[in-house]
A = this chain, B = another copy of it.
Amino acid sequence: MKAELISIGDELLIGQVINTNVSYLSRKLGEIGIAVGQITTVGDEPKAIAKTFKRAWKEHDIVIVTGGLGPTHDDISKASVAKFFKKPLVLHPATLRAVKERFKKFGYAKMPESNVGQAMVPKGFTVLRNQAGTAPGLLFFERKKAFVILPGVPREMQWITEDSLLNLLKKKFAAKSRGVIQHRTLITTGIGESSLAELLGPVESILEEDSTLAFLPNVPLLRLRISANGKTGREVINKIARIEKSIRAIAGKYIIGVDDDTLEGIVSKLLSDSKKTLSLAESCTGGMLASKITALPGASKIFLGGVVSYDNSVKIGLLGVPEGVIEKFGAVSEEAALAMAMGIREETKSDYAISITGIAGPTGGSQDKPVGTVWIAITDDSGSQAFHYQFGGDRQLIRERASIAALELLRKKLLGSL
């Protein structure tokens, strides 16, 4: 039993919007034992939509369409579905009331007329309420199959999925779902894809029946995904545990986390477990590292604060970097990085402090210090160290790599291996 996800929208075909809906839906469906077999994107074009509906409905047991449910004229999914299933569109009074109430709640005197269309549904379809917007989801069971339409706005699509859709699909397909699929991802750093593959040797020596191993590089991290299926959850979990053990026995020293772990999450947990605090002085990354760390709930336990010292006057004024250091060595130098880290640590009294100063480009580089030159310093009670990097890539990638390098330094420091 497999599902196909269909996304509708010219904005996806011209590359204006990145399709995050399908990764969300794939994850959620996976959690209830439904595997996605194909993802298809087509434009706002009735013929292409009809053809795709026909093929997908033939090939898969579950079809979930996102997009094209809004109130404006370019939203045509619902009409396409009504036509495909030969159902007339009928008014759904409860939805009309909900849409009107929503407009009232947000202070509109009256609902724009075009929103009446939101309450028209193909006859016989189940309406999935949407309290995050005005367009409801729609569900149709036919024999052993399910056809679903959801709005394309991620927040609304997610609201409906979690409010009703997953439960309805689970109930319908629980009995049919043959076996269990599970995944486990090991996150490694410090080794390349082919070197790790060579180190691990032939995958047959690691894997068991009905299991696979995938390498997912995303420099500087390389993820290793173990997938396995079997009859019961217990069987699959045990199988994955044995495979993970084999991998760890060979390449354990490169593994820094699992599944959805992020470097900032790993470092934050190390800080939190050891009841230590951090402060930051960021120049070229401009707050990116602080933003990553504070994106995690509970960041206030380990993160005191930081200075984004973009202009030299801020390095001098708020961080106490001696003017002479900047004059003599430049703002991107070992000396400036060390002074920045020590400055923010002294100011905040944090246990650890990190500074990042560099040239993110596209301009500002020189022969001696080309674009991509970055100095990162780390300081604590035991002393201070600074590290030089030369990153490739564009401005955004250099900033990203500098943030990741700083986290990796702190991780090593916290593990006593720096």
Using a CB–CB cutoff of 8 Å, the interface residues on chain A facing chain B are 9-20, 22-28, 30, 35-44, 48, 52, 70-75, 106, 108, 111-115, 134, 153, 155, 183, 185, 192-195, 197-198, 203, 212-219, 223, 225, 227, 279-280, 282, 284-291, 293-295, 297-300, 303-311, 313-314, 317-318, 347-349, 361-363, 393, 395-397, 399
Contact = CB atoms under 8 A, between A and B. Distances in A.
Nearest to A364: B300
Given A18-B18, A286-B291, A314 B308 contact: no
Q: What is the count of identical protomers in the complex?
A: 2
Contacts of A215: 70, 72, 74-75
Given A13-B39, A14-B27, A48-B38, A310 B314 contact: no
A237 to B, nearest CB: 17
A289 to B, nearest CB: 7
Given A194-B112, A305-B308, A308-B294, A19 B17 contact: no
Given A295-B396, A305-B309, A24 B15 contact: yes
Given A12-B23, A216-B17, A282-B287, A304 B294 contact: no
Contacts of A282: 287
A307 B307 contact: yes
- List 6 A-B pairs, minimum CB-CB distance, nearest first: A286-B294, A287-B287, A15-B26, A287-B290, A305-B314, A15-B27
B27 A23 contact: no
A15 B294 CA distance: 24
Contacts of A134: 194
Q: By CB atoms of chain B within 10 A, which of A22, A44, A280, A286 has the most?
A: A286
A127 B231 CA distance: 44
A395 B15 contact: no
A16 B304 contact: no
Contacts of A35: 13-14
In this complex, which of A13, A23, A74, A112 has the most chain B Cβ atoms within 10 angstroms of its Cβ?
A13
A306 B308 contact: yes
A349 to B, nearest CB: 8
A212 B16 CA distance: 15
B286 A290 contact: yes
Given A72-B215, A311-B348, 20 more contacts: A10-B227, A11-B214, A12-B23, A13-B35, A13-B37, A16-B185, A39-B41, A40-B41, A70-B215, A112-B195, A114-B197, A153-B217, A155-B397, A279-B314, A280-B308, A287-B291, A287-B308, A297-B363, A298-B363, A300-B310
A151 to B, nearest CB: 10
A395 B348 CA distance: 25
B310 A294 contact: yes
